[in-house]
Chains A and B, each alone.
Chain A
Amino acid sequence: MTRSAALSVVAAFAVFVLVWKAVVVVSGLPSFILPAPETVAVRFVDAWRDGTIEPHLGTTLIEVGLGFAVGVALALIAGYGLARSVLVERLLSPYLVAAQAIPILALAPLLVLWFGNGLLSKVIICSLIVFFPVAVATMVGIRSVDARLLELGRSLRATRRQVLLTLEVPAALPNILGGMRVGVTLAVVGALVGEWAGANQGLGVLINLARGSLFDIPLMFATLVTIALVGIVLYLMVVVVERRLVGNR
């Protein structure tokens, strides 16, 4: 990131906090409706110090990590099949569209009922939500491979595997990583939705606790900030990978 880009991020954040503070002062809303930014900041630091957030964060990160990995792996295989086989496309696309038409929010309680309160149901929900954008991006990417380059590969007697590794994957990589950028933020959504549908631990659970039994609204905001940070960090990780792999084309 250049210095001016970093500066604009800091400026945007400062404006956000200032507006937030102004709304609190002008509206005079009580802290259990809208706590002031500094109250949230203090609660955020405290919650980290006394270990309130950490175990929940750990659980959510594992769910997101596993769910993303499984979802991406399946999407790469399916996307490739969709791009290269008419039969696979015919067989798979109705399911794909149907799965995408049912909101994950409606599906999550059922999946928790079937696969339990623990990690498994969350990983399934995460991978389901990650699957679609990455599979479509992979399909588009593989289809975008220049037919003339494939002819070159054929003239050089490239094996199926060499065509995949030296032509199709590099050509599809920008698309695939674009799909992964969308997918990684959705993975966080998936984990939280799953936790809402039923879980013992996780940031989604902590939000529910802070709103309900604890009635600690600043903690709820601190959790929200944590979730936002998780999303941003994961997104930036994908961007860094993208820069390294396809940056200087």
Chain B
Amino acid sequence: MSAMGHGPGAVHLRRLSFSFPTRTGAPLPVLDKVDLAIPGGGIVALVGPNGCGKSTLLRVIAGLLEPGSGEALLDGTPIAGPDPRIGLVFQEPRLLPWRSAADNITYPLELAGWPPARRRARLARLSELVDLDPAVTTSRPAELSGGTRQRVALARALALEPEVLLLDESFSALDALTRERFDLELLRLWHRAATTIVIVTHSIPEAILIADRVVVLSARPARIVADITIDLPRPRTIAALDDPAAGRASHRIRAFLEDDEGGEIAGERAASIPLARELAS
């Protein structure tokens, strides 16, 4: 089956640059002319060295940061601030500690002004979607395990039926086995909800298991070093990682990451700059 749909949720980044203001006055460049096209329903994983600006890139797509130059488009129109069509799962669950799990999940609906009856109906569907044990919905976050908390956070991000789901290293705090389960559940969820997924991760196996394409970013300021298509059939299981194609992809991603740490400009990155200009013009 085709992983690249053409439904809603297409994200386009065009020569996107971003700098953080600093106390000394000279802005700190974080993103440098990033060009990226993600078709609606596609899954892209962003990998790169620590502090390279992956999370910043995600925040620009989420509308939390305004691009310095260039543009970020959702379905062809510029992303102007946070958008209900985009759901964001943070690195930590980020739940409101004084609310029950259920009230955390329906928090976006509450803010959007949904009446309680509709919220309850949606809660039931969301709990089922992320496979949340109904018995824990009345518990406070402090009483839940790390995995369950992240499940609640995932349900919250899906509450408004987003076209795009952004995950910022969301499973990185989980133990290896739980993480694997979450990766597979994310795929199962993707088959049902058909959202575009952009996931920032440090785990190359996770990136390969989930994504259609793995985009490798350079050290700060982040540029796209490589855009590697993962040629594995869907639906995928954990066995997909044993496929020779997965091994080859892993090898290539690692090579690009190591290349960049040496400070060398990889051949493909140098080649991507004129290409980017071409795209922008």
Contact = CB atoms under 8 A, between A and B. Distances in A.
A248 B94 contact: no
Contacts of A162: 111
A152 B98 contact: no
Which of the listed residues B82, B90, B110, B142 has the most CB atoms from chain A within 10 Å of its own CB? B82
Nearest to A153: B111
A148 B90 contact: yes
Contacts of B142: 249
Contacts of B140: 248-249
Contacts of B98: 170-171, 173, 246, 249
B94 A148 contact: yes
B70 interface: no
A166 interface: yes
B84 interface: yes
A155 B92 CA distance: 15
Given A157-B84, A249-B142, A170 B111 contact: no
Interface string A144-156: 0000110111111
A162 to B, nearest CB: 6
Interface in B109-138: 110-112
A99 to B, nearest CB: 33
> Which of under 10, 10 to 19, 20 to 34, or 35 or more describes the interface residues of A?
20 to 34
Contacts of B64: 151, 154-155
B82 A157 contact: yes
Interface string B45-67: 00000000000000000111000
Which of the listed residues A151, A156, A162, A170 has the most CB atoms from chain B within 10 Å of its own CB? A156
A166 B111 contact: yes
B81 interface: yes
B108 interface: yes
Contacts of A153: 111
Interface string B234-278: 000000000000000000000000000000000000000000000
A180 to B, nearest CB: 18
Given A151-B64, A249-B142, A157 B97 contact: no
Contacts of B82: 154-157
A104 interface: no
Chain B interface helix/strand/loop/mixed: loop
Which of the listed residues B62, B63, B97, B98 has the most CB atoms from chain A within 10 Å of its own CB? B98
Interface in A114-162: 148-149, 151-159, 162
Interface in B16-66: 62-64
A172 to B, nearest CB: 11
> Which of under 10, 10 to 19, 20 to 34, or 35 or more describes the interface residues of B?
20 to 34
Contacts of B96: 149, 166-167, 170
Contact of B94 (A152, A246, A249): A152
B62 A156 contact: no
B107 interface: yes
B140 to A, nearest CB: 7
A64 B97 CA distance: 34
A166 B94 contact: no
B111 A149 contact: no
A75 B258 CA distance: 57
Interface in B65-114: 81-82, 84, 88, 90, 92, 94, 96-98, 107-108, 110-112
Contacts of B112: 156-157
A249 B92 CA distance: 19
Nearest to A151: B64
Contacts of A156: 82, 107-108, 111-112
A155 B88 contact: yes
B62 to A, nearest CB: 6
Contacts of B94: 148-149, 152
Contacts of A157: 81-82, 84, 111-112
Contacts of A155: 62-64, 82, 88
A158 B81 CA distance: 12
A46 B64 CA distance: 69
Given A148-B94, A152-B90, A166 B81 contact: no
11 contacts: A152-B90, A154-B82, A156-B107, A156-B111, A157-B81, A157-B82, A158-B111, A166-B96, A167-B96, A173-B98, A246-B98
